[in-house]
Structure 1
Amino acid sequence: MEAAFREHAQWPATQSTITHLRARAVDALEKGDSIELVTDAGHALVCDLLIIATGNPQPRLQAPLDASLAAHPGSLKSARHPTVA
C-alpha cells in the first residue's frame, strides 16, 4: 500500500498528495471545506478527504461456536500469535 501511495504522489495529473500516517486519531474537526485530523501525539493534519483504516481484529471463533473448539487442530490461529485462536 505504501508503494502505491508513493507512486500516486509522483503522478502530477492528480494535483493531490496522500499522506500515510500511522497514528491514533483522537479528533477530526471540520474547518470550512477541510478536515483537521488530530492525533494522540498532538499532531494536526489538514486535509480535503479523510480515510480512516482501522485494521482488522485478531481472529477468534465467532458465536455460537464453543470456545473449546479453539484447541482443535483445524482451528485457524493468528499469524502474529500462533498460540492464540
Structure 2
Amino acid sequence: MERLTAHVHGLVQGVGFRWWTRSRALELGVTGYAKNLADGRVLVVAEGPRESLDRLLAQLRSGRTAGRVDLVVEDFGPARGDLTGFTER
C-alpha cells in the first residue's frame, strides 16, 4: 500500500472535477479525498496498491476529466492508513 499526493493544475476547481475523481478512485478501490485549494489547484490524496494509484494518476493526466488538466505534480510515499472511503472536500 502506498499514498499518492497529487496537485492538479488547470481548470479543475468545482464539484464536477472532484466528483469525477471520486468516481474513478472508487472504481479502482482506493481511499482518499479531492479538495479545492485557494490557488486554483485541486489536491488529490489517495491510498491503495501502487498499480491502482498509477491508474488513477494516468486517468488524471489523460485529458478526459470533468475539467481541463494542464499539469499533475505527484509524490508517492508510504500509506498512513488514516483514510476511509473517498470524499470530496
Identify, as 1 or 2, the structure richer in strand.
2
When normalised by structure 1's length, the TM-score is: 0.29
Bigger relative contact order, structure 1 or 2 (CA pairs below 8 A, ≥6 apart): 2
> Of the two, which has the highest radius of gyration?
1
TM-score under structure 2 length normalisation: 0.28
Q: Which structure has the highest helix share of the two?
A: 2
